[in-house]
Amino acid sequence: MAKPLTDSERRKQISVRGLAGLGDVAEVRKSFNRHLHFTLVKDRNVATPRDYFFALAHTVRDHLVGRWIRTQQHYYERDPKRIYYLSLEFYMGRTLQNTMVNLGLQSACDEAIYQLGLDLEELEEIEEDAGLGNGGLGRLAACFLDSMATLGLAAYGYGIRYEFGIFNQKIVNGWQVEEADDWLRYGNPWEKARPEYMLPVHFYGKVKHTPDGVKWLDTQVVLAMPYDTPVPGYRNNTVNTMRLWSAKAPNDFKLHDFNVGDYIEAVLDRNLAENISRVLYPNDNFFEGKELRLKQEYFVVAATLQDIIRRFKSSKFGCRDPVRTCFETFPDKVAIQLNDTHPALAIPELMRILVDVEKVDWDKAWEITKKTCAYTNHTVLPEALERWPVSMFEKLLPRHLDIIYAINQRHLDHVAALFPGDVDRLRRMSVIEEGDCKRINMAHLCVIGSHAINGVARIHSEIVKQSVFKDFYELEPEKFQNKTNGVTPRRWLLLCNPGLADIIVEKIGEGFLTDLSQLKQLLHLVSDEAFIRDVAKVKQENKLKFSAFLEKEYKVKINSSSMFDVHVKRIHEYKRQLLNCLHIITLYNRIRKDPTNSFVPRTVMIGGKAAPGYHMAKMIIKLVTSISNVINHDPVVGDRLKVIFLENYRVSLAEKVIPSADLSQQISTAGTEASGTGNMKFMLNGALTIGTMDGANVEMAEEAGEENLFIFGMRVEEVEALDRSGYNAREYYDRLPELRQAVDQIGSGFFSPREPDCFRDVVNMLMNHDRFKVFADYEAYMECQAKVDQLYRDPKEWTKKVIWNIACSGKFSSDRTITEYARDIWGAEPLDLKIPLPNVPQD
């Protein structure tokens, strides 16, 4: 087989990477050499690969700075409505290649680096991922920043600059071991510290009612230091800002109180304050009520709101009408989007500032707050909902507790007036949950304090209205919306799959990169022989390239003509990696039973991190690695079945594996996955989906036609019916011999001969308390997988379905999602305007 083109060779053929003009190439070389010279310490005359990476990063950064300054100047002069996206997570991944793509510099850099005898791809591999997120929620925020800049919105991402992001996952003896992610060790070329905008954040203390209002006194102060990262739009010269806060102790920290001379101890205690931004909590879809986490949530909110208000007051037209109080126009100039309940404290904090500091009367302040804030719900799992103990608030944020009580009292008075005598409704709708430990329900606070509440896929938004927030929906149905998630086609097609992007550009031009609905034009090419060949060839090249990577990293020989069956996402019972395991074991048993039969060869790849404290998730990883160990060393199987656990799954690994996948597994129990976004990335990159009718899978099936996905399993209504009648796992175990055999093998130690009862907990859970009903969908899943095999035997028909899916994936661009947020929630219009380059004089 012909050796595939390297990405470097391919880039030179691709128009959308920006043409490498001779002038550009020379300019990049000159800039690179200058940076290399000044980066290298005088006494070190040998450059390392990392020196080359930093020289290139600084070269590319130089192209950003002028655009960045001009964009911010443009906003200051035009004073548009500003969008503030508040999130505790921004899962950005690497920045170098994305910046080159969005600035149209990739070909010039590639050529310049090649002329200097270096390899661009090797330099790109040196960059650390910015892993400031757990999974879907944090990566969604990153895609949204890309789309907001591309759509010319005056938008800001606000979050925390964690010193340690999501842990690095090592697999040792088949078990997950966590390692700290010291991503800043070598410095971050993309951030700029802004000490001049440092702000104080207050904790603890006491509340005092005085004749001139309420005072929050005797607080402990922590300083919030902002670090700004540029966010370039796609070829429109717009560069927005992501501002992340880092915690700093004030210089007099602990030195003034009671400290009779233990100066050393006091300086060491600065760490306590600075721990706030030390580490990302590694839980996905799970609430852990730790005080440090509550501090993080208030820290980002308090610093951000001061910044928003400073910018509102200093903007050119902040206070045109002296008759009204200045804050009347606040919701016309500011939109705050809460990414889940993690930044919910923005609601009471904005109230505190308006009422206590700016002396706005309560009702007016509440109206302003509601008009400004909007809330995105990301999960319906009860264990994920934030419910903070009142006792913790009392100690840490006493003024906010008072404000929440006051908000809740007015809310309950309103409900009681509409539903007299319905005490159970008051209990259900209260922000305060009574009980042994009184708790604050942050989701209820968000719903009450926002003018818009949205779910992230149509089915999820319906569940939000009909179950999670049913009472609130009955009260104010107009507040509830759907905004189906999307992904940025720049990173998730152009950057990660240049081969596919290229053949699409050849056929329909490059407009689809900013208007993904244009992919519909590929529908008339579904039966085009040449295009079918091109699409299959690109997929095969991607598989060869990923196979080489796997052989290098995992020392496993891959059959690159096998079906690449990929299941990558956080490890969680509801995502049902265990259902995939049962399919793998059943397949294995069938091969062993009848080795001469013809089987479609598969390479099954499962990847994802487990929260360090989530026992069952860690057991699932151990099960996958144990199954892999047995199957991959069984000579009877040969290369017909291989199982690989992809270690340390992260953004930069997703960019490699997704373009190579044939089959995408999206198999959560119906009604549990709010949306999913990996599903969209696979669809866009030419994998077919096997999935349940859950999350955005429903809309994917609607766009492409259910017959063009492999849909199986219970629908939400059937899951609910099974809940009512009672799910009995043993019934399936007794009725299905292949299922029984697989479960018995797991339980008896077939996959863990040295530790026969290693997986006792897993089997016990599956048999006796499986909330996610794995066995109930086993039979349908096996039948559906047989249909996958059948189609894969006919490469041409398979590729036709692939083309159909790609052509129907246009809805799932985050550009579409953000356009809907802007029009329906933020009241801001996306701008087609291209800001002039820094070297072009402005009108």
Query: What CATH number did the domain enclosing 751 receive?
Result: 3.40.50.2000
- Whether 565 is covered by a domain: the verdict is yes
- Whether 823 is covered by a domain: the verdict is no
Which residue among the candidates 575, 583, 640, 801 is catalytic per the annotation?
Answer: 575
- Whether 532 is covered by a domain: the verdict is yes
For residues 470 and 609, state if they share a domain.
Answer: no
- Closest among 200, 241, 285, 577 to 456, alpha carbons compared: 285
**Model confidence at 623: pLDDT above 60:** yes
**Model confidence at 256: pLDDT above 60:** yes
- Whether 122 is covered by a domain: the verdict is no
What is the distance between the alpha carbons of residues 312 and 244, in angstroms, rounded to a whole number? 19
What is the distance between the alpha carbons of residues 586 and 590, in angstroms, rounded to a whole number? 6
For residues 471 and 573, state if they share a domain.
Answer: no
Q: pLDDT, tens digit, for every residue of 516-546?
A: 999 999 999 999 999 999 999 999 999 999 9
**Cα-flanking dihedrals φ and ψ of residue 47, to 5°?**
-80, 140
What angle do the packed helices 577-593 and 737-748 form, to 10 degrees? Answer: 100
**Beta partners for residue 567, in sequence order:** 606
Q: Is 569 in the active site?
A: yes
What confidence score (pLDDT) does residue 208 get? 97
For residues 195 and 330, state if they share a domain.
Answer: yes
For residues 479 and 521, state if they share a domain.
Answer: no
Which residue among the candidates 70, 74, 545, 570 is catalytic per the annotation?
Answer: 570
Which residue among the candidates 609, 681, 800, 801 is catalytic per the annotation?
Answer: 681
Which residue among the candidates 352, 490, 569, 572 is catalytic per the annotation?
Answer: 569
- Can you read off the two tokens belonging to residue 540? 């095969």
Overall domain count for the chain: 2
Q: pLDDT, tens digit, for every residue of 105-136?
A: 999 999 999 999 999 999 999 999 999 999 99
Please answer whether residues 299 and 277 qualify as being in contact, where contact means their C-beta atoms are separated by less than 8 angstroms.
yes
Please answer whether residues 345 and 298 qualify as being in contact, where contact means their C-beta atoms are separated by less than 8 angstroms.
yes
Q: pLDDT, tens digit, for every residue of 179-233?
A: 999 999 999 999 999 999 999 999 999 999 999 999 999 999 999 999 999 999 9
3-state DSSP helix/strand/coil percent for the chain, to nearest 5? 50, 15, 35
What confidence score (pLDDT) does residue 830 get? 83
Which residue among the candidates 95, 304, 484, 677 is catalytic per the annotation?
Answer: 677
For residues 529 and 480, state if they share a domain.
Answer: no
- Whether 99 is covered by a domain: the verdict is no
Question: With bands split at pLDDT 50, 70 and 90, how would you rate the model's confidence at 843?
Answer: low
Q: Is 570 in the active site?
A: yes
Q: For the chain, first and last CA: distance in Å?
A: 57
Q: Is 170 in the active site?
A: no
- Whether 422 is covered by a domain: the verdict is no
What confidence score (pLDDT) does residue 23 get? 66
- Closest among 516, 461, 459 to 486, alpha carbons compared: 516
For residues 664 and 801, state if they share a domain.
Answer: yes
For residues 476 and 551, state if they share a domain.
Answer: no
- Residue type at 179? E
Q: Is 194 in the active site?
A: no
For residues 451 and 583, state if they share a domain.
Answer: no
Q: Is 796 in the active site?
A: no
What is the distance between the alpha carbons of residues 567 and 664, in angstroms, rounded to a whole number? 6
What is the distance between the alpha carbons of residues 593 and 803, in angstroms, rounded to a whole number? 36
The conformation of residue 476, written as its DSSP 8-state character, comes to: -
For residues 675-680, give the mean pLDDT: 98
The two beta strands, 602-607 and 439-441, are unpaired
For residues 676 and 610, state if they share a domain.
Answer: yes
Q: State what percent of residues in the chain have pLDDT above 90.
A: 89
What confidence score (pLDDT) does residue 253 get? 84
**What distances in angstroms separate CA 31 from CA 39, 41, 46, 102, 242, one per listed residue?**
12, 17, 19, 19, 26
Contacts of 786 (CB under 8 A, 6+ apart): none
What is the distance between the alpha carbons of residues 66 and 702, in angstroms, rounded to a whole number? 44
What is the distance between the alpha carbons of residues 765 and 781, in angstroms, rounded to a whole number? 20
The two beta strands, 155-160 and 199-203, are unpaired
Enter the pTM of the model.
Answer: 0.96
**Model confidence at 720: pLDDT above 50:** yes
Which residue among the candidates 61, 254, 378, 543 is catalytic per the annotation?
Answer: 378
To 5 degrees, how large is the angle CA 506–CA 546–CA 599?
Answer: 100
**Model confidence at 733: pLDDT above 90:** yes
For residues 512 and 381, state if they share a domain.
Answer: no
Distance, CA of 777 to chain centre = 28
For residues 392-406, give the mean pLDDT: 98
For residues 788 and 667, state if they share a domain.
Answer: yes
For residues 38-64, give the mean pLDDT: 88
- Can you read off the two tokens belonging to residue 344? 């919910």
- Choose between 267 and 664: higher pLDDT: 664
**Region class of 463: left (phi > 0), else alpha (psi between -120 and 50), else beta:** alpha
What is the distance between the alpha carbons of residues 69 and 72, in angstroms, rounded to a whole number? 5
- Closest among 332, 299, 330, 331 to 158, alpha carbons compared: 299
Task: Return the sign of the alpha-carbon dihedral for residues 573, 576, 580, 582.
Answer: positive
**Model confidence at 259: pLDDT above 60:** no
For residues 682 and 745, state if they share a domain.
Answer: yes
Question: With bands split at pLDDT 50, 70 and 90, how would you rate the model's confidence at 322?
Answer: very low
What is the distance between the alpha carbons of residues 723 and 706, in angstroms, rounded to a whole number? 26
What confidence score (pLDDT) does residue 547 get? 97
What is the distance between the alpha carbons of residues 230 and 241, in angstroms, rounded to a whole number? 5
For residues 653-678, give the mean pLDDT: 98
When the pLDDT of each residue in the chain is averaged and rounded to a whole number, the result is 94
Structural domain boundaries, residue 479 = 79-93+129-388+443-486
Distance, CA of 615 to chain centre = 23
For residues 567-584, give the mean pLDDT: 98
- Whether 45 is covered by a domain: the verdict is no
Q: Is 681 in the active site?
A: yes
To 5 degrees, how large is the angle CA 755–CA 760–CA 763?
Answer: 135
- Whether 428 is covered by a domain: the verdict is no
Half-sphere exposure (Cβ direction) of 843: Cα atoms closer than 13 Å: 5
